[in-house]
Amino acid sequence: MPLESRMSRLAILATVAMLLGSLLTVRLWFLQAVDAPGLEQRVQEVRTRTVKLTSERGRIFDVKGRIMADNERLLTITLDRAVIAGPLARQQMWNRLSGALNMSVQELEDRYVSKRYNQLQPVPLKEDVSEDLAIFLRERSEDYPGIDIVENWRREYPYAPMASHVLGFLGAIRKSETTYYKNLGYDPDARVGQFGVEQTYESVLRGKSGYVKYEVDSRGRILRLIERKEPIPGNDLQLSINLDIQQFTEQALQNELLVRRRTEAPTVLSFGQPDPAYPEITYYKAPAGSSVVLNHETGEVVAMASYPNFDNRWFNAGISSDKFAELFPTTKDPDQSILVNRAISGRYNLGSAFKPFVAFAALNSGQLAGGTKYTLKDEGTYKLESIPKERCQLNVKCIFKNAVCGNGAPCKYGRINVVSALAISSDVFFYKIGEQIFTQRGNRPVLEEQVRLFGFGSPTEIDLPYEFIGTIPSKALKQRLAASGAIAKDEGKGFYVGDNVQFAIGQGLLSATPLQLAVAYGTLANGGKVMRPRVVHAIWAPGTPNGKSGSVNLARGTVLQSFAEPQVVRDLDARPEILDPIVRGLTRVVEGPGVQSDIYHSTTGEKLFRSYPSRSLPIAGKTGTAQGAGNLPWNDSSVFGAFSKDPKQPYSIVAYLEKSGYGSRAAAPVVKCVFTALAGKTTVTKAVPADPLDTASFAVASPQLLPNPLCLVGIGSSVRD
C-alpha cells in the first residue's frame, strides 16, 4: 500500500508538471511568435520618451493690424513620471529639485498628484523659467534624470482691459467640457477660449501640436533624438474693431456713468410736490452700461463696450484662487456682474427708443390711415376705447398718461402726426396704436409680427458667445413665464389690450439687447436691410508678418477667409413713404423743432444736441427711458439709439446706461460724444498699449476716462421720455 500510494502521488505530480510545462511552452510560443510585435512596441515605449510640442495660438489684431492678443514664449520644467514611480525615488528627486526650482517639497508633490495634469504625460513642475535655469538643468541630466524643458506659450493682451468682452480669455477646461475637448484631442490640462472670440474661434486659433521623440536609458537620460514633428501654428484673426474708436467709446461710457453717480435723481413728485416717503436726495446708482458702434451697411462692429469691464490678463497672471475669487466674486446681483457682455447679453426694456419700430408697424400694416396725414390731438392722457366704461370703474386700467412736464401734470402736445409724435415722444400717440392695431385686427399679433422683422426676439447671430435673444410680448410668452413662476399664474391666462399698449411704448414684457437695437436702427438707416453683425473681419494664414511696433504687416499676410461681404438677413422692402416719415421724426429729435400747443415743447434731444456738428455728420436718433423698480426715477435706465445720414460714414450707435436716469440725460450724451468723434470734431486719442498688470492690485480693470469730456456736456430733456 505505501508503495502504491507513493506511485500514485508521483503520477499526479508528473501529470501536473507536464501540464505546467505545456502551458509554459504555449505561453513562450505565444510571446515569441504571436505577441512579438506588441512586446517590441512596449519595449520601445519604455526606451523612448515623447514630448508634446504645443502649437502657437493664432494672434488677434484690429482692423488696422494692431495686435490685441499675442503670445509670449514660455519655458516649462517637466519631469518624466516613470523616473519617480516609487515614493523613495520621488522624495529624493524632490529634495534635489527643491533648491534649484525654489519650490518646497510639498509644492512639487502637489504638482505630481494634481488631477489638473495629464497622468500619462510628464508632470509640469514650474512654468515661465529663465533660460539660465533651463541650461543649468540640461547640463546636469545625471543629477536630474527625466527632466526636460518644454516650450509653451502664454497669451498676452497688450491693450487690456480694452475690448476684453470682445476678445475673451483662456482658461482651464471645465469639468462639464472634459469629454467634449478630449474627443477633440485636447490634453486635460490644456487652456481653451472661455469667452469672446477666443471661444467662438477656438478651432481656428488653436493650431496643431507637434512632438519630439527621444531614446532614453533606464534612468530616463536622453540618449538620442529619434523623431521631431514641428507644431503648426493657429490661424490669425482680424477683427472689425477699430481700437481708437473702441477706446473712445469705452472712455465715453465710463465717464458718463461716473457723472451719473454724482447726479441727484429727481424727487418723486405728486403734482409738483415732494413725496415725504422718499429721501430728499438720492443719487443714481449707474452701476453698468454698454455701447455699440455698428457699420449698418456691412454689419461690422466698429466698437463694442461693456461696463463693468475686466483686465483679461488676470486669467494667466498666476494668482491664487483666493485672490481670483476676490477679484471676480460669485454674485446674484446683476449690477455687480463683471463677466457679462451687456451689449449682447443685457436683457432690457427699451422705453421710447422702441417707438420708431411701432411707427413702422402702424405705417407698414396700414393701421395709420393716410400715413403722415393721420393726426391725433394729444391732451396728455389716453383712455382705452375698447374697454366698456363699467369695467374701467373696476380693476381694469383704462387711462394711460404721457410723461409729466415741469408742472407735474402730463404733457399736452396738441395736434400731432407720426413725425411729430416721434420728435416729442408722445406716449398717447403710441398708446392708441398699441390698442387699435390689436383690437381692430381681431386681436391678432400684428405688432409682434411687424417688429420681429427688425430682428427683435431672435438672435442676431453675431460671432460671439452667450447672446440673449430677447423677448416679444405674446400670449405664449406669458404662459411660459407663468409656468416658470416669473409672473403670477393668473397673468399668464391671456394677452390683453393693456399688454399691447405697454408693448407699444417699449415697456412690459419686451426685452432686447443693445446690439439688437443697433441692428434695428441700422435697418432704418440703410433702407430696410437687416444685417448680420460680425466682429471678425477675416481669418489669416498663420504667422502674419510683423510690421511696425505692436502691429502686423497686412500687405504681406495671406487672407484665408474674408467676412467683408455683407450678410443680409432680411430685406424689408420698405417703401420710402414708410421709412421717410420715421427718419424725419428721428431727425427732429436731434435737430428740432418741437411742437407748439399751449406752450412750446422742445424735442427730447434738441437742447442736448445744440452743440453737435450736424453739418459735418448729420444724424437721427431717439431717446428712451426704461422705467425701473417701483417706477422710481433713480431706478430708470437710459437708452439712446441713432444713425448717421451720411452714406460715406454709415454708422449706427446705441448706448444703454442702467439706473442712470432719462434717455436724454445719460445715454444720449455718450452717443453724441462718439458721433462727434466720428465727425472729426473732437480729438480721438490713439490707442496705446497698457501698462504692465499690477498683480498686487485688487481692481479688475483700470479706469478708462476721456482726456477731454466736453463732448458729453449738454442739457438733456426734463421729460421722462
Residue 26: is its pLDDT beyond 70?
no
Q: What is the mean pLDDT of the chain?
A: 90
**Average pLDDT of span 675-683:** 96
Give the model's confidence band at 500: pLDDT under 50 very low, under 70 low, under 90 confident, else very high: very high
What whole-number distance in Å separates Cα of residue 608 and Cα of residue 619? 13
Burial class (CB in 10 A: 0-12, 13-18, 19+), 10: exposed
Which of the pair, 31 or 176, is modelled with greater confidence? 176
Q: How far apart are CA 640 and CA 716, in angstroms?
A: 12
- DSSP sequence for 637-665: EEEEEEEE--TTS-EEEEEEETT---TTT
Return the ∠ at Cα 321 (arms to 316 and 325), rounded to 5°.
100
- Which residues fall within 8 angstroms of residue 680, CB to CB, at 6 or more apart? 616
How far is the C-alpha of 451 from the C-alpha of 469, rounded, in Å? Answer: 14
Report helix, strand or coil for 527: coil
Say if residue 717's pLDDT is above 90. Answer: no
Arithmetic mean of pLDDT, 2-29: 69
Cis peptide before 188 (omega within 30 of 0): no
Section 594-618 average pLDDT = 94
Residue 30 pLDDT more than 70? no
Mean pLDDT of 317-334: 87
Q: Which of 172-186, 262-276, 584-598 has the lowest mean pLDDT?
A: 262-276
Strands 60-61 and 236-239: parallel
Q: Residue 287: left (phi > 0), alpha (psi -120 to 50), or beta?
A: alpha
The fraction of the chain above a pLDDT of 90, given in percent, is 64
Q: Is the pLDDT of residue 13 over 80?
A: no
pTM comes to 0.89
Asked if the peptide bond before residue 593 counts as cis, ω within 30 degrees of 0, the response is yes
The answer to whether residue 321 scores a pLDDT higher than 90 is no
Residue 271 has pLDDT above 50, yes or no: no
The residue with cell 363699467 is 390
pLDDT digits (tens, 9 = 90+) for 372-381: 999 999 999 9
The predicted structure's pLDDT at residue 188: 81
Residue entry with cell 505577441: 35
Q: Which is more confident, 40 or 575?
A: 575
Which residues, in sequence order, are CB contacts of 329 under 8 Å at separation 6+? Answer: 336
Cα 148 versus chain centre, distance: 39
Please report which residue ranges of 30-86 form alpha helices under DSSP H: 36-47
pLDDT given at position 612: 96
pLDDT at res. 35: 56
Task: Give the pLDDT confidence of 84-133 residue by residue, as tens digits.
Answer: 888 888 888 899 888 889 999 898 988 888 877 777 778 888 888 888 88
Q: Is the pLDDT of residue 661 over 70?
A: yes
pLDDT of 407 higher than 90: no
Average pLDDT over residues 620-648: 93
Whether the link from the prior residue into 647 is cis, omega within 30° of 0, is no
Whole-angstrom Cα distance, residue 200 to residue 256?
31
Q: Which residues are CB-neighbours of 90 under 8 A, at least 6 positions away?
A: 84, 109, 112
pLDDT of residue 273: 56
**Residues 424, 407: Cα–Cα separation, whole Å:** 17
Per-residue pLDDT for 382 more than 80? yes
List the grid coordinates of 454.
427688425
pLDDT tier at 274 (50, 70, 90 boundaries)? low
Q: Which of 59-68, 248-257, 362-371 has the lowest mean pLDDT?
A: 362-371
Distances 595 to 392, 477, 583, 718 between C-alpha atoms, Å: 32, 38, 17, 16
Query: In which band, very low, low, confident or very high, does the pLDDT at 43 lie, cut at 50, 70 and 90?
Result: very low
Q: How many CB atoms lie within 10 A of CB 482?
A: 16
At a CB cut-off of 8 Å and minimum separation 6, what does 425 contact?
352, 355, 403, 589, 603, 604, 622, 623, 719, 721
Domains of the chain (ranges; CATH) run: 49-239 (3.90.1310.10), 243-345+573-712 (3.30.450.330)
pLDDT digits (tens, 9 = 90+) for 218-242: 666 678 889 889 899 999 999 999 9
Q: 433-478: per-residue pLDDT in tens?
A: 999 999 999 999 999 999 999 999 999 999 999 999 999 999 999 9
Asked if residue 640 has pLDDT above 90, the reply is yes
